[in-house]
Structure 1
């Protein structure tokens, strides 16, 4: 297998046909100049040792040398051996609550941004595990399918916001049910759903959904965001708070963290419940628990190990250019003395 390290340098090969054209024009010009100077017999007598063949040979050697140097700049790499790389880890799906209550600022900078930071920091600690992302409010929608591309995961994570779902509320059961579609092997024991929410569940069924998830081998971690005292939900324009969310009676809504449902969901699946106020503690607790879990082999890929080959082309190019410098356009002595037609 062959690949090129710097293919842009291939454009320099266009110099070769240009040099050939220039050389052809030079030969035509010399031929016309010789005709004006004298007859071919006279010119042969004046320069008996000149060899047209060697002139062409010198130019051909020069072209080959330049071509080799250009190819050395491109740096071809030859695949010399196959290397098998196996990935082992846990399937980890993050379900992030994007309901309006997650805009409350009782935990800095707000509940949603704190959740995104916790997920991002957790991803930074992973190695070999696959991750997926779900956004949910009154319904749940997939954001990123299960993948080992952590950079893409963090990019999709930062795009989460409270305006992405029109139906408001918090339905943990919806997130749990959707997470089941992320896991491709029902026999896996290393499937984890990590829910980040303030726990204000406006729909029933979260506990039941957790029990059915446990039966299917899914472990659920829950991270509670906010405070029990609660806070208002700011409505901002251009980054400045203009008012606060109000209920149907016109009263300002106070949203409070509810840990009850989050604890029940975690307990029913042999998971862990965490308070999300301390980033390092949450990340450490999640990653430590993941380390204790059985790892599954996700994929075994064969990669070709490539080695640089430019040094050979560089050596050939320099040799040919040096050879061109030492080649003379005179006839070789034994050829000059050869008389095939017995000329007197």
Structure 2
């Protein structure tokens, strides 16, 4: 099984390659425009270029540039550090099926809790994983829609790696749709298994779809899901930082007023009560982890067998080596035509 430790580098690499490609295209267009201004007659212009660079090979130049772009992307794959599990074994475990649903809407950037809501949520998930023993876990992220990050697994190492890539830029459409997260969580659990199903919802409780709590709770109850709601935010709230170059800028409404995002305690509390779960709103992470652990401890555990990979080994060196080999090949390809090809 292969996992990627730093998935963000795959996206960054794609963006870098795209930008360089656009620069190449723009530079080529500028060259043609400049030559056209210097010599409007196309035939004379071609003759002039032939005299200046008689052995110039456009095909070789295109190939060299393509190889450079390919090498750059392989280097970014190396930075992402793919890992391969080298051992697969069957292990007997006892526990519950647990899915983390992390709110990644922009309101989670609010800094009313340190360092901000999204980082606090990720820390809670990471430390909860450290306390688990035999439970199976999955990860969902959601904003205006929900997206699966990690299916149910006993591989906590894989869960931690996927957790690192969770951020508020994951979803192109913004908002908060708790119902979508509940529906997606329902697909994570084995319908034929009798394992207890728990969803840990880490959110500020703002539901921009304005779906009634009774509908959300009914959906969870039909799937036999108990929900632990973890408050990430405060009732006093705070402004939502906006990215980009303008640091210190905050999201504003249509009238130019700074938007204040506040914890919707009532929604989270009612949702937990309606699904036989618990609502957690504690001042520190340790108390939150303790409350989660206490709740899970009193649930009936189910024995099951699972196959899991172990001994994950870094593979980044292979991709860096491939990038180096590609650059060597690019260096060996001449920009000019070889004389025997010219003949």
Whether the TM-score (by the shorter chain) exceeds 0.5 is: yes
Match of 1:149 in 2: 155
Q: Which runs of 4+ in 1 moved over 3 A?
A: none
Query: Aligned partners of 1:101, 1:262: CA distance in 2, in Å?
Result: 16
Match of 1:340 in 2: none
Query: Aligned partners of 1:198, 1:218: CA distance in 2, in Å?
Result: 20
Structure 2 segments unaligned to the other structure (5+ residues): 1-88, 309-343
Is 1:212 the counterpart of 2:219? The answer is yes
Alpha-carbon shift at residue 84 of structure 1 (Å): 7.7
Match of 1:134 in 2: 140
1:134-186 per-position Cα deviation (integer Å, ceiling 9, x unaligned): 00011111011011110110111111111111111111111001100000135
Match of 1:180 in 2: 186
Is 1:90 the counterpart of 2:109? The answer is no
Contact persistence 1:225–1:277 (CA under 8 A): no
Q: How does 1:1-344 map to 2 (within 5 A)?
A: 85-186=91-192, 188-203=194-209, 204-237=211-244, 241-299=247-305
Contact persistence 1:96–1:196 (CA under 8 A): yes
Normalised by the length of structure 1, the TM-score is 0.60
Count residues in correspondence.
220
1:47-95 per-position Cα deviation (integer Å, ceiling 9, x unaligned): xxxxxxxxxxxxxxxxxxxxxxxxxxxxxxxxxxxx9841111100000
Q: Quick check: which has more Rg, 1 or 2?
A: 1
Query: Aligned partners of 2:207, 2:164: CA distance in 1, in Å?
Result: 24
Match of 2:79 in 1: none
Contact persistence 2:183–2:219 (CA under 8 A): no
* Secondary structure class of the residue paired with 1:87: strand
Query: Aligned partners of 1:301, 1:115: CA distance in 2, in Å?
Result: 29
Query: Aligned partners of 1:136, 1:222: CA distance in 2, in Å?
Result: 15
Structure 1 segments unaligned to the other structure (5+ residues): 1-82, 303-344
